Amino acid sequence: MADLRELSEGAWSWFQDKNPAKWSRAYFKDESRCDLLLNNLCESFNAAILLARDKPILTMLEKIRMDMMVRQSNRRVACERWKDLVGPRIKKIIDKIGQRATEYRAHRAGEFIFQITGCGEHGSKHAVDLGLHTCTCKRWQLSGIPCVHAVCALRFKKQEVALYCHDYLMPSTYMEAYNPIIYPIAGQEDWEPVDYPIAPPLFKQQPGRPKMKRVKEPGERNQTTAPPAPKEGKLPKIGIKMSCRVCGQQGQNKLGCPITKATKAAATVSP
């Protein structure tokens, strides 16, 4: 926060009333095994149902049900093809972490406890407990995936890194999450008729005089209204620009004409 204040006083002030557990990984709880700060899951679901949101209620629900039914099935089929102990996305993360593990050195303190030091005189130091699946950097507890310090210790013991991932990331848990089946249903024409009258919604009299005119769109409010129909052979003056009979210019009448005013002024001055 001190470094942030040096960069931007406004950003530092904005964070003062914000709970750190909502935006800082240092205060995250490690029960969910998730270290993401994004809301991509909800945004992806909203994007998937975008084509169905403007449909009638039955059509919308049927479109969402069909998409979810196919999605659940595709996830189960994809999981059956996994060849590793974890999913492909987790496997890529482990491989990427393993590339950085050569920058650290493992020092055994016990059967499952290690001191991990970074290369160089001022390298970082972290304590790893392989039995409890913990590291002082806290990244292993947050994500459920062994951090670079844990990978360094596991390579020292010649253990498989994927075996130390959390159960949430295993194929068995993945299959359990997508195991419920959304069963297909018959079309609306095959539904059993039900004699159940649908009552209209309750009507509540609103206070004030009811509106007699419709609410106009924003583009309609700026349009000039057409003049009303003539009554008794006389044209109305609404929407018609007046013309001066003296000078012939529009936007003024005989009384407001400069020529008429000048004539009246001259007649007043002359004896």
pLDDT in tens, 210-268: 777 777 776 666 655 655 666 666 666 666 677 888 888 887 788 888 888 888 888 77
Tell me which residue of 98, 255, 214, 228 sits closest to 164, measured CA to CA: 98
Q: How far apart are CA 20 and CA 33, in angstroms?
A: 18
Sequence letter at residue 158:
K
**What integer best gives the mean pLDDT of the chain?**
85
Residue owning tokens 């297909």: 184
Measured CA distances, 268 to 180, 253, 254, 271 (Å): 100, 21, 18, 8
Rg (CA), the chain: 38
Which residues lie across from 207 on neighbouring strands?
A: none
pLDDT digits (tens, 9 = 90+) for 182-226: 999 988 888 888 888 888 888 888 888 877 777 777 666 665 565
What is the CB neighbour count within 10 angstroms for residue 106?
20
Q: What is the pLDDT of residue 128?
A: 95
How far, in Å, are 24, 190, 256 from residue 130 at the CA level?
25, 59, 96
Which pTM value belongs to this model? 0.62
Are the C-beta atoms of residues 85 and 94 closer than 8 Å to each other?
no
**pLDDT tens by residue, 33-63:** 777 777 788 888 888 888 888 889 888 999 9
